[in-house]
A and B are shown apart, each in its own frame.
Chain A
Amino acid sequence: MKPLAVTAYTATTALGRGTGALLEALRSGTSGLKPNDFDRAELRAWIGRVAGLEEQPVSGALADFDCRNNRLARVGLAQDDFLDSVAKAKSKYGPRRIAVLLGTSTSGILRTELAYRSGEFESLNYRTAQNLYSVADFVRRTLGLEGPAMTVATACSSSAKVFASAARYLESGVADAALVGGVDSLCLSTLHGFTSLQLVSDEPCRPFDVRRKGMSIGEAAGFALLEKSDAGISFVGYGESSDAHHMSTPHPEGEGALSAMRQALERAGLEPNAVDYVNAHGTATPSNDRAEDRALMRLFGGRVPVSSTKGWTGHTLGAAGIVEAIVCCLALEHGLIPATLNSSALEPGIQSQVVLGNRSARLRHALTNSFGFGGSNCSLVFAA
């Protein structure tokens, strides 16, 4: 594919608002995970919660869109001068030529969950707060963008797959630039749902570690602006595949993961040995970590440094793709290979070069993996 410039990017996670807070936490090894205090806090878990959303409702012309997910989207858009970057792109291309492609897994379902509990359905705004499109529609209206817009909802690969769609949109001439990203916020469905599958740890998650007990759920908003030029950090390859194996368990040999990574490198025109860092999906569930390790070993043979940054942010589900794409951009820009926070002793059998302490290195290419339920895999490659 023709490389696309990542001309602006921003992320808001449990580590704070904007990429400055994210980079600072990555450098200092500070986790955003805390003991679960969400809703009734009945589950023993650690979560990556964005502070202050309760006090910042969406108001004004878009007040109907008010829900936790759109509050998080609004806060996310306001960081890193991202609004200015969008305004510049708007005057350059015109609002009709900028696509809005966002990932989420649960959108504003929390409001509906609470309506079922209270029995008060009157104030429910289905279109603007519950429907999956709500977040893309809210962002598009907030920014005044009129290009093609959609929400991609493929569980935990959602906001990685929007990069692939954007590349195809720009190549097809459907748009001249694309705003991509994802927003996923804490809700009861995911906290209780992942618990029902016995995938949630009662400690902070420890990807690839011998003591790991499962995942920690987080929330995040992340956005990037993609344009046809080759300045600065660029998005150079994507790969997508299906496991065709099971709805909630990955293929044990990492077959689908391997195929997604291979396609991403092929589109980038790179050999595996050109990759300097892999940000793994690394959820800290035994089935993910083992399968992903197998796939990484089959492709890279243990040569490339690999880390999962979910110990910092938690697994932000439909926002994980964009958050970890931004971690790759920060890694490339600042020469930082982040550690696998909370992990210190690898599970026997894990053979990849899992990074356990931050390293400094000059990086040219970084690859990130995102895998979702339904066997939906996506890998992205970024270049400095």
Chain B
Amino acid sequence: MAARVLCGEQDFLPQAVSRPAVPLLPPAERRRCALTVAWALAVAQEAAAQSGLPGERFQVVFASSDGDGDIQHRICSALATPAAEVSPTDFHNSVHNAAPGYWSIGAHSSAPSTALCAYDGSFAAGLLEAACQVNVDARPVLLVAVDLPYPPPLAAHRPVKHGFAAAIALEPGAGLEVALDDGAPSASPLPAFDGNAAAACLPLLAALARSGGAEVRLPMGERVLRVRK
């Protein structure tokens, strides 16, 4: 359905999304993992399945500007109480690399993974890292990007209207070219997601959905990442 929306064949109608099922994880981890992890693993599993390669073959690059706002909120709230007792599960789930950590457990993958942030340029930074890994390590890479709305009071400081997650499977020899450049970023096909750093990939996804090829410019700091496929 997402592909039809991106191709302009169907209108975008925002709707509430319930917590994605995470069949990849054992039941205990399924319950314990954060919402961002559930979103990340849902798209990662779908992209890996579409690629036809077994999940454990992929190196994983996780890109997110904001991490898990619910967990940050719970930890900061707990620290503001006199006892300052933090939930141990919240604490180990608070690391930015929680999603690749749970992925490695669910996919039984000992392949390397990383987690990075470049604020609104996080997706472009993730794509650059993934492209360098494909190029130098010569291994397939799963790039996963997620950002979800923050709860109040932080929502006022980082307003994100809609949640967004996407995963792209990259393989050596797929002919992806990336380079830093100047100029304005490509316009988003779905401006409703503006303000969500992970959704900065939308021009790329739309171009790939329409024609399988792409030449787009994605925001990366004051510059752009030029992407050609």
Contacts and interface: CB of A to CB of B under 8 A. Distances in A.
Interface of A: 42, 96, 105, 109, 112-113, 115-117, 121, 124, 126-127, 130-133, 136-137, 140, 146-155, 161, 164-165, 167-169, 171-172, 174, 188-189, 192-197, 240-248, 255-256, 259, 372-376
B196 interface: no
Interface in B96-134: 96-98, 100-102, 104-105, 107-119, 121-122, 125, 128-129, 131-133
B132 A169 contact: yes
B86 A196 contact: yes
B104 A244 contact: yes
21 contacts: A113-B76, A116-B79, A130-B157, A131-B65, A131-B158, A148-B220, A150-B128, A153-B116, A154-B100, A192-B84, A193-B92, A193-B94, A240-B113, A241-B112, A242-B110, A244-B109, A372-B95, A373-B97, A374-B95, A374-B101, A374-B102
B67 interface: yes
Given A148-B125, A150-B117, A244-B109, 16 more contacts: A112-B72, A131-B66, A150-B116, A150-B129, A153-B96, A164-B112, A165-B114, A168-B129, A168-B136, A174-B132, A189-B79, A192-B85, A192-B86, A192-B91, A196-B85, A244-B110
Query: Which 5 residue pairs spanning A and B have beta carbons closest together?
Result: A374-B101, A193-B91, A240-B112, A153-B96, A242-B104
Contacts of A132: 67, 96, 117
A224 to B, nearest CB: 19
B136 A172 contact: yes
B94 to A, nearest CB: 7
A165 B94 CA distance: 23
Contact of A242 (B65, B112, B135, B221): B112
Interface string B54-78: 0000000000011100001001111
B138 to A, nearest CB: 11
Nearest to A161: B114
A120 to B, nearest CB: 10
A151 B118 contact: yes
A247 B102 contact: yes
A127 B119 contact: yes
A135 to B, nearest CB: 10
A96 to B, nearest CB: 7
Given A188-B79, A193-B75, A242-B110, A154 B91 contact: no
B180 A153 contact: no
A140 to B, nearest CB: 8
Nearest to B129: A165
A93 B75 CA distance: 43
Contacts of B184: none
Contacts of A153: 67, 95-97, 115-117
B30 interface: no
B137 interface: yes
A152 B114 contact: yes
Contacts of B104: 242-244, 374-375
Interface residues of B, number: 63
A319 B110 CA distance: 24
B45 interface: no
Nearest to B78: A192
Contacts of A255: 110
Contacts of A244: 104-105, 107-110
A152 B115 contact: yes
Contacts of A164: 112
Nearest to A189: B75
What secondary structure prevails in chain B residues at the interface with A? mixed
Contacts of B16: none
A40 to B, nearest CB: 8
B2 interface: no
Contacts of A172: 131-132, 135-136
A117 B80 CA distance: 4
B223 interface: yes
Given A168-B132, A172-B135, A245-B105, A105 B95 contact: yes
B114 A154 contact: yes
Interface string B127-152: 01101110111000000000000000
A109 B84 CA distance: 15
A374 B77 contact: no
B97 A196 contact: no
A115 B180 CA distance: 37
A244 B110 CA distance: 6
B13 interface: no
Contact of B157 (A121, A133, A137, A245): A121
A116 B108 contact: no
Contacts of A373: 92, 95, 97, 101
Contacts of A155: 95-97
B116 A168 contact: no
B36 interface: no
Contacts of A113: 76, 79-80
A189 B75 CA distance: 7
A196 B110 contact: no
Contacts of A195: 86
A101 to B, nearest CB: 9
B110 A259 contact: yes
B87 interface: yes
Contacts of B117: 131-133, 150-151, 153
